[in-house]
Structure 1
């Protein structure tokens, strides 16, 4: 099992002050990594980092920078490298959702989704990968979605960003594999989180999720941890450019 051991490795997880990112941070801490907790608000990131450290006994550090701004990303990554060096593991998790029918979808919401869900992974990925390339090793895990493959009414823009994540991941593989870097995507199905709280509360939608998912339920954030540890560890050294769907079987059936 030593191939899954993350002791001695540093992970940066964007958008990890709450939600799925926070659960992923806890999972990597429990696997032995030290974790840079990131959020939009420094106070929120510091609070989350302290709570995760207390809960797991692991080592955490907090940072805050705008993942959609190239200059802010460059400075933020530089500060991390000054303190802990280039991360061994990058999890591009930061993301938002907007639900509006395509014909009425606001241009501003499209721009926000592209910037937060896709551009951020490009910017943070590029700046962290430069240090990884110099070192000759690294793991990049981009968070996709079942919407990387499947569409639903009202979320065309979100689906476009997550489809983009799948192709960005393959492009990273093509460009970075020669530097000893593996880039893969982790694609959750329908998970009960802060982002989906309104849908979970909708009894009709929850029945649809249970009926459409072979596992018969919403995903729980802890369901993602095993797959993330695999993609972050030496166990996945020959896995590159892949999208791993953790969706209870949704993308496997019609």
Structure 2
């Protein structure tokens, strides 16, 4: 491998990036990858969501960005789509769901739904895209996990289990894909202001408790997840694989919410 061009090592000009799950954080990630020079294919189960992000990226021009509706749990449809996308250099996986309930209150259907999308969906997407990356000897995959891959709270058990599972899949895939030149990493967000967390932020005490748990004393904005993903997608992270990058405002770095007195 040639020496890195420090002036360009964060750029991904001319590369084809696929973002699976284009709502909320996924939309900002797609915009960030495009801003760094990538041609972005926006994939989402909801065609309107994918199209809206594609249109935002195009901004009146057509640099090749695309939108496709696909359900990552439909393996046949996913395989058909992948076959028509051409070479993919960057794959970002954001699609996930959460049902907030105590474990003993979960139904079997709810358990299967959360595990299905979060864990099986990640598995399906990597199985669909990684073989061509292996064949070409290059590629970067980034899966979004969560602080819940490391720490839990009541009502988050199944979601936490899936995110921990994705983190372990990332490590195993790093070992298995690395010899072919393909890297895979995870980005673990903390609490982020998205439509999915609107219920929490509407509760003043809950909203404040989450903000204060971060050492930065606030929630994250969706765009604050973008830098880590773009870095992992770029040559600046060429020797980074099997890692989970915490983008959590220090949530998992500190023990509890109490600052003891000094002096």
Q: Does TM, normalized by the shorter one, top 0.5?
A: yes
Aligned residue in 1 for 2:92: 91
Aligned residue in 2 for 1:113: 114
The separation in 2 between residues aligned to 1:221 and 1:105, in whole angstroms, is 29
RMSD in angstroms over aligned alpha carbons? 1.4
- Per the TM alignment, residue 169 of structure 1 is displaced from its structure 2 partner at its CA by 0.3
1:13 aligns with 2:14: no
Decide whether the 8 Å contact of 2:142 with 2:185 is kept in 1. Answer: yes
The separation in 2 between residues aligned to 1:23 and 1:52, in whole angstroms, is 10
Decide whether the 8 Å contact of 1:170 with 1:242 is kept in 2. Answer: yes
Which of the residues 17, 30, 38 maps onto 1:33? 38
- Deviations 1:182-228, CA, capped at 9 Å, x for gaps: 10000100001011111111111111012211010000111111111
1:71 aligns with 2:83: no
Which of the residues 8, 11, 14 maps onto 1:2? 8
The separation in 2 between residues aligned to 1:57 and 1:246, in whole angstroms, is 32
The separation in 1 between residues aligned to 2:10 and 2:40, in whole angstroms, is 16
Q: 1:30-179 residue pairs with structure 2 within 5 A?
A: 30-54=35-59, 59-80=64-85, 85-179=86-180
Structure 2, gaps ≥5 residues long: 1-6, 256-263
- Deviations 1:127-171, CA, capped at 9 Å, x for gaps: 111000111000000110000101110010000110001000001
Q: 1:198-217 residue pairs with structure 2 within 5 A?
A: 198-217=199-218
Change (3 A) 1:46 1:210: closer
Larger Rg: 1 or 2? Answer: 2
Structure 1, gaps ≥5 residues long: none
Aligned residue in 1 for 2:235: 234
User: Size of the alignment, in residue pairs?
Assistant: 249
Decide whether the 8 Å contact of 2:41 with 2:65 is kept in 1. Answer: yes
- Where 1:4 maps in the other structure, the secondary structure is coil
Change (3 A) 1:144 1:241: same
Decide whether the 8 Å contact of 2:10 with 2:236 is kept in 1. Answer: yes
Decide whether the 8 Å contact of 1:88 with 1:132 is kept in 2. Answer: yes
- Per the TM alignment, residue 56 of structure 1 is displaced from its structure 2 partner at its CA by 9.1
Q: Which has the higher helix share?
A: 1
The runs of 4+ residues in structure 1 deviating greater than 6 Å are none
Decide whether the 8 Å contact of 1:137 with 1:181 is kept in 2. Answer: yes
Decide whether the 8 Å contact of 2:97 with 2:118 is kept in 1. Answer: yes
The separation in 2 between residues aligned to 1:106 and 1:65, in whole angstroms, is 26
Decide whether the 8 Å contact of 1:26 with 1:56 is kept in 2. Answer: no
The separation in 2 between residues aligned to 1:223 and 1:94, in whole angstroms, is 18
